[in-house]
Structure 1
Amino acid sequence: MTRQFTAAANKREGHTHVLLITTGSVASVKAPLIVDELLKYKDVSVQVAATKPSLTFFQPEDIRRQGVDVWTDDDEWDQNYRIGDPILHIELRRWADIVLIAPCSANTLAKIATGICDNLVTSLLRALAPTTPTYVYPAMNTLMYEHPLTAQHLRTIREVIGYHVVGPVSKGLACGDVGVGAMVEWRDIVSSVVERFHLVRGSDGGGGTTTNHGAV
């Protein structure tokens, strides 16, 4: 039995609603840090949508302990679904004021650029309103980044879809190679949200989010 999420029940007036998407790159290990830092600002609510491969690199419980939900493919459809029931990828995109794809793996990058929507994350992005600011933070092996298809996919994402692409940067990679392909510093990802929405740091640790969910 899946959990239920609706934008109407979870939109908080006066809050900035940040949707963090994690994909199958080792840089997903930074997800709990990004969430923790975002919650230090006033009137910020956060939800996380994670591909299954990204869960190799962090424990959802480390984020849920902060009062933030982590949604996966397992939460998308219930076997007892009926027409009119909430659809998770639609509700999350309705909820989000800004979307951060951090990190964006080569695989998810290719799916977005070619319109594939075969999981929660890519279905959400395909359904996302073009007016929702979306930031893509690529993270992959150097040779994957230098592959000619990556340049083509990034052009599509920038020029056709209209997402903001930030990075990658050059450093030692988890695989042992050294070169361009690493996700930008996670604090810079938080800063992009802070600067866009003029967020103010909270004296008591910030806002946070409480999800109103139940069984379908």
Structure 2
Amino acid sequence: MESQSPTPLVAEQHMHDKKIHILLAAATSKLYNIAEALCQNKNIAIRILISEPAEKHFLGQSPEQPDYESLLQLDGVDAIYRDEDEWTPPWTRGGPVLHIELRKWAHILLVAPMSANTLAKMTKGIADNLLLSVIRAWDTTGMVDMGFKTQKPMIFAALAMDTCMSRHPVTEKQLKVLRDEWGCSESNPEGWVTVLSPSEKGMASGDIHAEGMMEWRDIVAVVLEYVAGLSKP
């Protein structure tokens, strides 16, 4: 499928549009539902990140498979980006770098769900796709991207993995990084990450005890709470 993204994105051109910018990365059949629900708020603008594994994950497997063309018809969805858009057209010296422009553009990053692979890579600082590059480039200090008075949040809907993967010792170590070191809490007011707890339910693998993503309506409700709490200077 050809990219649907405009070229190039220059974040500065959107800084005064009076909208809350949500960068949405999702590998779920509920992608359309999440985007449509968020677009009901006319003060929200959305850009969607779709990695190659995410695009193939549900291909032909579910009648709820997102129709990416239909996503672009939603009033509020500005663009869809894929990994190859980082270098298409070829970057020229002095030109905008997509993952940096997306970082600057976004006020909220929502990843739904956060896979075991993404969890492992981002806590190690690996940036080998567009989403991970945005995460790696995020303004974690809240002092560089000055679009808001408050720090820009990342929201991760955890975890899309089976029970053995979620209970593996390395998973708890990685989650500890997110919750204790990066997480926003009373004990860590400088944090920027919120991890939404998973639910036990059947998954595509057939494991009925798997850790599945939080119900999509609840995820939307959390995001809208953040939207309501953000204010531009």
Is the TM-score greater than 0.5? yes
The corresponding residue for 1:22 is: 26
| 1: CA distance, partners of 2:174 / 2:74 | 35
Matched residue, 2:130: 120
- Pick one of 199, 205, 211 that aligns with 1:175: 205
Determine if the alignment matches structure 1 residue 61 to structure 2 residue 69. yes
Alpha-carbon offset, residue 154 of structure 1:
0.6
Structure having the higher helix fraction is 1
- Higher-RCO chain (CA-CA 8 Å, sequence separation at least 6): 1
State the 1:161 CA deviation. Answer: 2.5
Aligned partners of 2:213, 2:91: CA distance in 1, in Å? 38
Distance 1:80 1:47 in 2: 21
Residue correspondence of structure 1 range 4-153 to structure 2 within 5 A: 4-23=8-27, 28-56=28-56, 57=58, 58-67=66-75, 68=77, 69-78=79-88, 80-130=90-140, 131-138=151-158, 139-153=160-174
Q: Which structure 1 segments of 5+ residues have no match?
A: 200-216
Residues 183-202 of structure 1 correspond to what in structure 2 (within 5 A)? 183-198=213-228
The superposition leaves residues 7-53 of structure 1 with CA deviations (integer Å, 9 ceiling, x where unpaired) of: 12234532111111124xxxx21111110100001311111112111
Instruction: Give the 4+ runs in structure 1 shifted more than 3 A.
Output: none
Between the aligned partners of 2:173 and 2:119, the Cα distance in structure 1 is: 10
Unaligned runs of 5+ in 2: 59-65, 141-150, 184-192
Describe the shift of the 1:62–1:140 C-alpha distance in structure 2 as closer, same or farther (beyond 3 A): farther
Among 176, 190, 200, which residue is 1:155 paired with? 176
Moved more, 64-73 or 149-158: 64-73
Question: What CA distance in whole angstroms lies between the structure 2 residues aligned with 1:151 and 1:161?
Answer: 14
C-alpha displacement of 1:180: 4.2
- Tell me how large the CA RMSD over aligned residues is: 1.9
SS in structure 2 opposite 1:178? coil
Listed one character per residue, the Cα deviations across residues 88-145 of structure 1 (whole Å, up to 9, x for unaligned) are 1000110111111111111011111111101111011000112320111121222211
Which secondary structure does the structure 1 equivalent of 2:23 belong to? strand
The one-character-per-residue Cα deviations of 1:141-173 (angstroms, maximum 9, x if unpaired) are 222111111111111112222311112111111
What is the count of residue pairs matched by the alignment?
Answer: 195
Instruction: Decide whether aligned partners of structure 1 residues 79 and 198 sit closer, same or farther in structure 2, where only a CA change above 3 A counts.
Output: closer
Normalising by structure 2, what TM-score?
A: 0.78
CA distance in 1, matches of 2:202, 2:30: 16
